[in-house]
A = this chain, B = another copy of it.
Amino acid sequence: VPELRKDPVDGTWVIVSTERCARPLAIRTKIPIQETEPCPFCPGNETETPKEVFALRPGGSERDEPGWQIRVFPNKYPALRLDGAVEERGDELFVRKDGVGVHEVIVETTVHDLHLADMDSGQLVEILKVYAHRIRALSCDPRIRCVLVFRNHGFLAGATKLHPHSQVVGLPRVPRRIERELEGAKAYHEVHKRCVFCDILHREIEEGTRILLENEGFVVLAPYASRIPYELAIYPRNHAARFEDEGEEGIRFLGEALKKSLGAVRNALGDPSFHYIIHTAPVSSGSRREERSAQDAAFHWHIEILPRMTSLAGFEWGSGMYINIVSPEEATALLRSKG
C-alpha cells in the first residue's frame, strides 16, 4: 500500500509507492557525457580556465601551471558575480536584485576519469579540506550569507564534464531548502531543547533498518522521507553546526564514510548519475552573536547524496511533492548487500 511520509525536519511530504518500481524504464539507462576536446580541467590546459584562486601544489609549482594536486578557479560561466549592489529593487510585484555572489569550480584530481569511490583516501581528505577552506574563504565576504558545496556526477545529474570536479556557490541570501531546514530545526529546539537531527540519529541507530554504515565519526542513512530512490545522508555522530569547523580526525572519518557510500551506490546501481550537497549552517554576521548561537545549537550539518535513477516528472514540478518508488528500507538493504 502506498504511504505518505513527512520529513521530520522540513515538513516535506513524500509518497512512497513501491508498486511503481515494476514500471518499465523506471530505472534509467546510462547516458554518456559528450566530451569536448581538450579537457580544460586536465593538467597542461590551465589557460583554458579562468585564473586559479587556490590550489594545492605540493611541489611548489607556479600558479596556473601544471604541478597541482587540487585546483580552484571561478566558474567560466558563473551563475553569480561579486559585483553590484545587494539591495532589492523593483516594486511590489516584480522584485529583483543583482546576482552578487561567487561561483567556483574545484578540480579534484589530475586524473580525467577517476570515480570518487576509486580515489585514494588521502586525496579524498584533501578534497574535503579544500571544501572547508573555500567555505571559510567565501564566508569572509559580508555580502555572502550562505555557501553551498555540491558535486554533479554523470549526464542525468546535469554534469557537462567528466573530469572529477565540485562546485562552490556563495549566495547573497539563505536559499529556501536551507531556510526550511533551519526553521524546522529551530522550532524543534525551542520545544525540546534538543537538536532534531541528533534525535533522528538516535532513533535511526536504534531502529537500524535505514542505516547504511557507521564509523567513529559519522552515520550514513537513507532518510525516513527519502525523496528519490537510494537517497542517502551523512551526519556527524556528534552535534556540529558547521562542516567547515571539522578537525583533521573528523575529515578523515568523513572521507571514509563518503568513499564507502559512493562505492555502494556505484556497485549496487551500476554507476548512476548522482549529486551530493553539503548543508552547513549559514554565515551569521558577528553583530548577531545570539542569532548565531541559537542557529548553531539547532542545526546539524550533513551531506545529502542523491542518485539520479529517475527524472523529476510533471507531478513533482507541479506539486513540490515527491513520488519515491523505492522505500528507504529497501534501498538500505540493497546498498548494504551489494556495497
Residues of chain A at the chain B interface (Cβ within 8 Å):
1-6, 8, 12-13, 15-17, 19-20, 22-26, 31, 33-34, 36, 76-81, 83-84, 88, 92-99, 101, 148, 150-152, 155-160, 167, 169, 171-173, 175-178, 180, 196, 199-200, 203, 224, 275-279, 304, 306, 308, 310-315, 317-321, 323
Please measure, in the bound complex, the distance between the C-alpha atom of A180 and the C-alpha atom of B17, giving whole angstroms.
25
- Out of B5, B98, B152, name the residue touching A4 (CB < 8 Å): B98
Instruction: Known contacts A13-B173, A98-B3, A319-B175; decide if A276 and B314 are in contact (CB<8 Å).
Output: yes
Interface of A is mostly: mixed
Identify 7 new A-B residue pairs, CB closer than 8 A, beyond the known A4-B98, A150-B314: A1-B98, A6-B88, A8-B93, A15-B99, A93-B224, A152-B314, A278-B318
What's the number of copies of this chain in the assembled complex?
A: 2
In the complex, which residue of chain B has the Cβ closest to the Cβ of A174? Answer: B319
When C-beta atoms are compared, the residue in chain B nearest to A76 turns out to be: B23
Residue pair A160, B80 in contact (C-beta under 8 Å): no
A86 (CB) vs chain B CBs: closest residue = B4
Instruction: Report yes or no: B23 in contact with A80, Cβ–Cβ below 8 A.
Output: no
Q: Is the CB of B224 within 8 A of A79?
A: no
Docked-complex contact A319 and B20, CB < 8 angstroms: no
| Pick from B3, B16, B150: contact of A315, CB under 8 Å | B150
Inter-subunit contact A99/B4 (CB<8 Å): yes
Q: How far is the CB of A316 from chain B (nearest CB, A)?
A: 8
A311 to B273, CA, bound (A): 11
